[in-house]
Amino acid sequence: MLRAASTVNAHVVGESFHQFAPQGVTGILSIAESHISIHTWPEHGYAAADIFTCGDHTMAERAAAVIIEALCCRDPEITQIRRGLTGAHVVELQQAHHLN
């Protein structure tokens, strides 16, 4: 995850990891741009990562590619969820505010 953050020039401001016995890890990198987290279940050949970023939309894609490569994923699934207030959402909120 640190390599993923470094690759996309994210600014790490904190980190926390926990190694489970006998296997598996959960961890989070707090980055100035938001966070990168991972939870692994090696006994099931499964890992789930969340790359939440603000700004450059390619940052998450590039960070995901680094994590996928590091975990030697054979069949990665990527779901992109657009979060935040942009475009029409901002206009709707502004209009609602003026109505009150």
45: CATH = 3.60.90.10
- Alpha carbon separation from 19 to 2, 15, 24, 34, 43 (Å, rounded): 16, 13, 6, 23, 14
Higher pLDDT, 43 or 98: 43
Is beta strand 34-41 parallel, antiparallel or unpaired with respect to 25-31? antiparallel
Helix or strand run (H / E) with residue 34: strand 34-41
Q: How many domains does the chain have?
A: 1
CA Rg value for the chain: 17
Tokens encoding 22: 């006998």
Cis peptide before 76 (omega within 30 of 0): no
**Predicted local confidence at residue 84, as pLDDT:** 67
Higher pLDDT, 100 or 55: 55
Is the pTM above the cut of 0.95? no
pLDDT in tens, 14-37: 999 999 999 999 999 999 989 999
Question: Catalytic positions, please?
Answer: 34, 39, 54
What sign results for the dihedral spanned by CA atoms 65, 68, 74, 79? negative
Domain that holds residue 52: 2-99
